[in-house]
């Protein structure tokens, strides 16, 4: 099964998705096992985040994985239990899980740049 987060685009570039294995960088594996060797709970500047990939537990990996794509295409595994990433994912899914029009997406882009946690 796929995460309910699949396919939500942020700023036209950023998307929640369940992607196939990623190329090797920053603690990521490319085979059919878990992608993250290690993860961080450290808060990452929201201005650096281009995409959030959430992979639910499944055959390939028994744990949920959260992988951020940052500027310069750097990928970072974040501990899914980190309170800040849980809040960010919750806020984004709550607000933008079902964008009904391009107008809503444009409004979302503005809010994302202003900071999605400042509601």
The full 3-state SS of 74-88, as one line of letters, equals CEEEECCCCHHHHHH
Is residue 117 in a domain? Answer: no
pLDDT number for residue 106 = 43
Q: Which of 9-13, 31-35, 73-77, 108-112 has the lowest mean pLDDT?
A: 9-13
Is residue 44 in a domain? Answer: yes
111, 7, 90, 25 alpha-carbon torsion, rounded to 10°: -100
Is residue 18 in a domain? Answer: yes
CATH code of residue 88: 2.40.50.40
Q: pLDDT tens digits for 77-102?
A: 999 999 999 999 998 888 876 655 44
CA dist., res. 39 & res. 65, Å (int): 9
Is residue 83 in a domain? Answer: yes
Please count the structural domains in the chain. 1
Q: pLDDT tens digits for 33-72?
A: 899 999 999 999 999 999 999 999 998 899 999 999 999 9
pLDDT number for residue 99 = 53
Is residue 108 in a domain? Answer: no
What domain range includes position 38? 8-96
């Amino acid at each position: 099964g796929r995460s309910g987060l699949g396919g939500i685009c942020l700023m036209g570039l950023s998307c929640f998705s369940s992607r196939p294995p990623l190329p090797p960088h920053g603690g990521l594996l490319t085979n059919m096992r878990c992608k993250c060797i290690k993860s961080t709970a450290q808060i990452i500047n929201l201005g650096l985040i281009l995409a959030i990939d959430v992979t639910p537990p499944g055959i390939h990996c028994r744990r949920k994985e959260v992988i951020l794509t940052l500027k310069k295409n750097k990928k970072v595994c974040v501990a899914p239990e980190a309170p800040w990433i849980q809040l960010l994912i919750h806020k984004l899914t709550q607000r933008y899980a079902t964008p009904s029009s391009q107008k809503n997406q444009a409004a979302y882009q503005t809010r994302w740049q202003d900071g999605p946690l400042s509601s």
